[in-house]
Amino acid sequence: MRESRLKCTTNSALRLVLMIVSVALCTLQFTAGSVVAARSGVGDSRYDVVGSARVIDGDTLDVAGVRVRLEGIDAPERGQKCRRASWTGLWKSGQWRCGRAATRALERLIAKQAVRCRAQGHDKYGRVIGVCFANGKNINAQMVRAGHAWAFVKYSKSFVAEEAAARHARRGIWQAETQTAWEFRAKKWTASEQQAPNGCAIKGNISARGKIYHMPWSPWYTKVRIAPNKGERWFCSEADARQAGWRPVGAI
């Protein structure tokens, strides 16, 4: 009788442990597949990420600690310059810092307000792809409409109409013929990989802020010098850099 009772107790304990493990695994799976963000005291089930935001560049935000890439748009890179039109509408040799202008335009749109984003999935770098709102207005659409970003038609046609309006009015990047952000990145990559060891053009720098990697279109790229004796190195892809423990410049 005692042995039977002992077996029963052991089996019950084992079932309890298995149940706890199962619940824990389900919770982890749910968390991994969901967007986790602080909501700054504002609850709204229509949005996946809600909170205070920090601008990384013209198409990327950090919302309550979650990195969000604005869906359907591609803004000039931070170090990118665009051609400027003269008052006559004719092209001239002058350029303007369209990448910096895009970053500042996004900062003005947010203006320290709570940002709400609807997740559309994740990109290959683990960032949330999102349509975001501030003060009730669609940030993605406003960036394209103001001429601070292109409609990223390779991945989405969500903001084609806004781009057409900006082009017609010759706002921002549309004031003169200029390189798109994706052409700018491709050109920088091609030039850098020809000079980099084994064609691996990403610079893995170690500074007081930790292990930071720089893409060829980063405004600080040419200033960074790689010192292998200090543990710094070159990477062939962002995935390799992240796996090795480096993070992109501008990340928290």
pLDDT tens track for 124-152: 878 899 999 999 999 999 999 999 999 99
Domain region containing 151: 49-178
Average pLDDT of every residue of the chain: 83
C-alpha 131, offset from chain centre: 12
27: exposed, middle or buried (Cβ count in 10 Å: 0-12, 13-18, 19+): exposed
pLDDT at 69: 96
Q: Half-sphere exposure of 229 toward its Cβ, with a 13 Å CA cutoff? A: 0
Weakest mean pLDDT among 23-32, 59-68, 158-167, 191-200: 23-32
Is residue 133 one of the residues assigned to a domain? yes
Q: Per-residue pLDDT tens for 5-20?
A: 444 444 555 455 445 4
Write the CB contacts of 140 (distance below 8 Å, at least 6 apart in sequence): 70, 71, 72, 73, 131, 132, 158, 159
Parallel, antiparallel, or unpaired: how do β-strands 137-138 and 202-207 relate? unpaired
Q: Which of 153, 178, 203 is the last residue in one of the domains?
A: 178
Do residue 218 and residue 115 come from a single domain?
no
pLDDT at 30: 34
Residues 186/180, Cβ–Cβ less than 8 Å: no
Q: Per-residue pLDDT tens for 100-120?
A: 999 999 999 999 889 999 999
- The CA angle 64-211-201, to the nearest 5 degrees, is 110
Do residue 213 and residue 160 come from a single domain?
no
